[in-house]
Structure 1
Amino acid sequence: MSDMATAVWSALADPSRRAILDRLLHGPRPVGDLARECGLSQPGASKHLRVLREAGLVDVQRDAQRRLYAIRPAPMAELDAWLAPYRRLWNARLDALGDRLDAQATDDRKGDPS
């Protein structure tokens, strides 16, 4: 795994940073809004945004006197691509469980005297 991928995973490990990214799904936001919505102080939100920016997960743009933060989709797409084989494995296991439960339900109905 590359250093950038490690930085992305480390950034995503923190629940406050994930909450910030959740808010940014709706579009660019200033740090003050993000801090308020996530229950963080503005300096705390700024520190989390710096980590997200350094990991390549967000961009910042100046808009007059404020800075707007926005999600960078490329690192998310890379994470999704990395997770794809694991998702296929998990889905295959869930499908097998579903088949097993369906078979059990069919057997139970066959044995039901009503």
Structure 2
Amino acid sequence: MKALTASGERIECDEVEEGRHGVVCYFDGRIVGYVPYDQLTCVTERRTPVASSSIQSVGYDREEETLEIAFHSGGVYQYFDVPQETYQQLLHARSQGSYFHDNLRGQYDYRRLR
């Protein structure tokens, strides 16, 4: 998920905790940000669950052209410069795992988030 501030800053996190005056953002159990409610635009989920034996959920950031995939094994990866059409094809594939192996793996730069 990510928290968006009124100034346009994005805080990437995997958990948010609501407090009295704002939200605390966590990533891997560590605090990565705090946003007072009057500066918070929204908190959005980044991934959609899918019915796959290997992939737990997928998400896509149109502005950044970044695909994010969470695997049932616990790994979460971001793939860069992925066209939106590829994301849509992944979502609607008969097998997301097969589509990933045939069309994404080894084709895009990536980073492991966890």
TM tier, smaller: under 0.3
Higher RCO, 1 or 2 (CA under 8 Å, sep at least 6)?
1
Task: Name the larger-Rg structure.
Answer: 1
Which structure shows the higher helix fraction?
1
State TM-score, norm by structure 1: 0.27
